[in-house]
Amino acid sequence: MNDLNIFVIYFTTVTVGAIIVLIFITYFFMRKHIFAPPSGEIVTSKAVTVLKCPLCDYRLRRSFKEGDHVGAVATETCPIHGTNLIVEAVYSESEEKKD
Ligand SMILES: [Zn+2]
């Protein structure tokens, strides 16, 4: 009878311990793979160029093209004057997705 009691206590301890370990493993696995979003995909940035007419306040905002820099003459023209627009600003816009 004494041997059986020791076996029951040992078996219960091992079983409870195994369940606790399994719960911890599951918790950390879920937290890492399900709850935390992949950091590389949440932020997307795009470069934006602001063009301005040198004669009036007409401004055009479009996506960045290679060679754009402040003061450069763009191929786009002012709808009022027909003059080529000047690059006024170049900046990057970041869009963050938050829950
Ligand atoms: Zn103009």
52 and 88 fall within a common domain: yes
45 and 91 fall within a common domain: yes
- Distance CA(59)–CA(96), nearest Å, equals 26
55 and 81 fall within a common domain: yes
Pairing status of strand 73-77 against strand 84-96: antiparallel
Tens digits of per-residue pLDDT, 32-83?
777 666 665 556 788 999 999 999 999 999 999 999 999 999 999 999 999 9
Q: Separation of 60 CA from ligand 1 center, angstroms?
A: 11
Q: Separation of 32 CA from ligand 1 center, angstroms?
A: 55
What is the tally of helices (H) and strands (E) in the chain?
2, 4
Domain span holding position 52: 41-96
Asked if pLDDT for residue 95 goes beyond 60, the answer is yes
